[in-house]
């Protein structure tokens, strides 16, 4: 009898712990998506505010050709430098400082892509945004719920991102339509895969640390997860815009 009671008590404790982890995971993912959503909103507001104002946009690009000037080049490459610095900021700074850095980064991205409001029609930008949101939601949901281990995708997808960055920089000078199309097509596929991959990784990282977590780790992990999904969303949007966007 005593043994049965001990088994029931252990089972109940395990079930309670499992329920606690599940609740914690939901709260963690909600925070990740919340931070990411604020970042996307901030990017959209900055991009629209600068891109829809000819005087502001002319500070960074030629108002007719939209070619970047010196400030424009700085604005284009600033987010790349900041994202490389993000790991150091996250490791050394507090969670509050890291979150602020993330929002500043999101604003910098908005500045770098503000030209799209002068290059594309507002309707096509809105259509592409909603198409990106729908695709992102479906891919992220699949990554969260699938039982398939897709961790092996990571190395191939990261190599693909490096290839995209190199090809995009080269094409700034070559201006090759064929290379532009190839980069855009591969970009959609790569960041679609990264959306599912990053979602599963965020979930698995939480579960792996669920037994020995602390508030600081939780906060910083949510910020890093939000950054990864934010990058997936923004890049997916930009590559889809090259296909769906109607030029002004």
What residue ranges do the domains of the chain occupy? 23-244
Provide the phi-psi class of 149: left if phi over 0, else alpha when psi is between -120 and 50, else beta.
beta
Please say if the pLDDT value at position 56 is more than 70.
yes
Of 86, 248, 93, 66, the residue nearest 175 (C-alpha): 66
The CA distances from residue 245 to 19, 25, 122, 149, 202, in Å, are 45, 37, 9, 35, 32
Q: What pTM did the predictor assign?
A: 0.89
Are the C-beta atoms of residues 240 and 188 closer than 8 Å to each other?
Answer: yes
**Cα–Cα dist 189/193, whole Å:** 6
**Residue 214 binned pLDDT confidence (cut-offs 50, 70, 90):** confident
The answer to whether residue 20 scores a pLDDT higher than 70 is no
96-105, 130-139, 200-209: range with lowest mean pLDDT: 200-209
Residue 42: its H or E element: helix 2-51
- Per-residue pLDDT, averaged over 187-200, amounts to 96
Q: Could you tell me the pLDDT band of residue 16, with boundaries at 50, 70 and 90?
A: very low
DSSP symbols for 203-243: HHHHHHHTTS--HHHHHHHHHHHHHHHHHHHHHHHHHHHHH
Backbone angles phi, psi at 121, to 5 degrees: -70, 150
Residue range 21-32: mean pLDDT, rounded: 88
């Amino acid at each position: 009898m005593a043994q049965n009671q001990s088994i029931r008590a252990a089972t109940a404790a395990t079930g309670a712990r499992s329920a606690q982890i599940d609740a914690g995971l939901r709260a963690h993912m909600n925070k990740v998506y919340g931070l990411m959503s604020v970042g996307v909103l901030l990017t959209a507001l900055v991009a629209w505010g600068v891109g829809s104002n000819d005087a502001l946009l002319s500070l960074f690009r030629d108002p007719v050709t939209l070619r970047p000037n010196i400030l424009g080049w700085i604005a284009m490459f600033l987010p790349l430098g900041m994202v490389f610095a993000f790991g150091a900021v996250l490791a050394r700074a507090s969670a509050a400082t890291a979150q602020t850095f993330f929002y500043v980064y999101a604003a910098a991205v908005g500045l770098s892509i503000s030209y799209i409001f002068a290059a594309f029609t507002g309707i096509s930008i809105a259509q592409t945004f909603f198409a990106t949101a729908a695709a992102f939601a479906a891919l992220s949901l699949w990554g969260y719920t699938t039982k398939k281990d897709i961790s092996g995708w990571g190395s191939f997808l990261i190599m693909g991102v490096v290839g995209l960055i190199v090809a995009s920089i080269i094409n700034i000078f070559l201006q090759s339509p064929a290379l532009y199309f190839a980069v855009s097509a591969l970009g959609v596929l790569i960041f679609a895969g990264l959306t599912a991959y990053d979602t599963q990784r965020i979930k698995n990282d939480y579960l792996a640390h669920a037994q020995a977590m602390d508030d600081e780790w939780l906060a910083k992990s949510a910020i890093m997860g939000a950054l990864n999904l934010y990058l997936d969303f923004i890049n997916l949007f930009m590559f889809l815009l090259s296909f769906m966007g109607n030029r002004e």
